Amino acid sequence: MPLANAVALDALAEAGALIERHIASGAVLGAVLDVRSGARAVSRSYGTATSADAIFLLASITKPMTAAGVMLLADRGELKLADPVRRFLPEFRSGARSRITVKHLLTHTSGLPDQLPENIELRRRNAPLEEFVERAMRTDLLFEPGKRYSYQSMGILLAAEICERITGTRFPEFLDRELFRPLQMNRTALGLGRFALEETQRSQVEHGPPHGGQGAPEAAHWDWNSSYWRELASPWGGAHGSAPDVSRFFLEFLVPAEAKVLPPATASLMVRNHTSRLGTPRGLGFALGTGAGAGCSEATFWHSGATGTLAWADPVTGTRFVLLTTLPATTARQLVIQPVSDLVSQAA
């Protein structure tokens, strides 16, 4: 999208005005919109986000970052997508688990659930991530591996556990060293990393789902704004980052031949459809297709987050889009995220 184009500029102005209206009404407390095409960029902050570099809890935009960490090890010959998970997690081998592969984990086709049945209970007692891992390895499967697509955070968790066992390094440290720093994502960390909680935007949890705490006083020690959750570094949704950093990450896959960290073939593989027979297009960690915006092409790769975030890149137009907000997606998706994305994508 040539950002100098009058139509595109009008769309960006309309998108910005829409965000500002919701900021002024108090519906959204803070947001950053970052749109880029080639060397041109528009990055604007709103409300409590006083800078475009404001740090937000990214939620599930974390998933493709985790997948990229797994693929770094694949490039080094440490694992293969076709490897059974039991090769790395020997305790994960009973019944159909023995047939789950690394690829199943990254494409949401493993049969694992999105969240554990005891998810909220674990959060309430501030359970360590290791307990989530242990329970994910023995929770009931929902279906035979590879037979269906079903969005599953627990598969992404086990993919990160594989990385930890291979490298002997905590996954947040591995991602920081091998992915974030090489891509100059200096305002990003899995968990809080080197950032203080006060440096990040607070989520409007009262408008979110039950697992976000919904603003209940008794949930303050485990909700999305708590030190517990922000420091947990869940590899399915615990990354913090700025909008320009998320855009840098997506650039790695927009023109694979120019990828800085991943080999071109790997960057291309991650945004290829691996679930064509299952009805929902998925890459490795990425969602694919037109669901990100009304004007997005089928080649678009994207991800959204429950905390009120959306990022996409469209290889057909060369456009990258990131919108980070403090308003959880249960409300923000219809109110601001989808309308803004539609405006920008249709003008590209």
- pLDDT value, residue 337: 98
What interhelical angle do 62-75 and 153-167 show, nearest 10? 40
3 pLDDT tier (thresholds 50, 70, 90): low
Contact 348, 15 (CB under 8 A): no
- pLDDT value, residue 6: 60
In tens, the pLDDT along 145-176 reads 999 999 999 999 999 999 999 999 999 999 99
The pair of three-digit structure tokens given for residue 308, joined into one six-digit string: 């009120």
In tens, the pLDDT along 238-294 reads 999 999 999 999 999 999 999 999 999 999 999 999 999 999 999 999 999 999 999
Confidence check: pLDDT of 61 > 90: yes
Give residue for tokens 């076709």. 82
Per-residue burial over 118-133, b if 16 or more Cβ lie within 10 Å, else e, is: ebeebbeeebebeebb
Mean pLDDT score, 30-41: 93
- Mean pLDDT, all residues of the chain: 96
Q: What is the CATH number of domain 6-347?
A: 3.40.710.10
In tens, the pLDDT along 81-102 reads 999 999 999 999 999 999 999 9
- Which of 93, 36, 21, 63 has its CA nearest to residue 255? 36
Confidence check: pLDDT of 112 > 90: yes
Cα 309 to Cα 272: distance, rounded to the nearest angstrom:
23
Mean pLDDT score, 309-334: 97
Give residue for tokens 């009058």. 6
Confidence check: pLDDT of 133 > 60: yes
- pLDDT value, residue 5: 74
Per domain, the residue ranges of the chain are: 6-347
- pLDDT value, residue 77: 97
Mean pLDDT score, 176-196: 98
Mean pLDDT score, 123-150: 97
40 pLDDT tier (thresholds 50, 70, 90): confident
- pLDDT value, residue 1: 45
Mean pLDDT score, 12-41: 96
Dihedral sign computed on CA atoms, order 193, 155, 286, 304: negative
39 pLDDT tier (thresholds 50, 70, 90): confident
Dihedral sign computed on CA atoms, order 90, 274, 245, 155: negative
Mean pLDDT score, 106-131: 98
Using alpha carbons, list the distances in angstroms from residue 158 to 7, 92, 269: 45, 10, 21
- Comparing 37-46, 108-117, 204-213, the range with the smallest average pLDDT is 37-46
In tens, the pLDDT along 288-316 reads 999 999 999 999 999 999 999 999 999 99
- pLDDT value, residue 9: 83
Confidence check: pLDDT of 4 > 70: no
What percentage of the chain reaches a pLDDT higher than 70? Answer: 98
What percentage of the chain reaches a pLDDT higher than 90? Answer: 96
Can you give the three-state secondary structure of the chain, one letter per residue? CCCCCHHHHHHHHHHHHHHHHHHHHCCCCEEEEEEEECCEEEEEEEECCCCCCCEEECHHHHHHHHHHHHHHHHHCCCCCCCCEHHHCCCCCCCHHHHHCEHHHHHCCCCCCCCCCCCHHHHHHCCCCHHHHHHHHCCCCCCCCCCCCCCCCHHHHHHHHHHHHHHHCCCHHHHHHHHHHCCCCCCCCEECCCCCCHHHECCCCHHHCCHHHCCCCHHHCCCCCCCHHHHHHCCCCCCEEECHHHHHHHHHHHHCHHHCCCCCHHHHHHHCCCCCCCCCCCECCCCEECHHHCCCCCCCCEEEEECCCEEEEEECCCCEEEEEEECCCHHHHHHHHHHHHHHHHHHHC
Confidence check: pLDDT of 120 > 60: yes
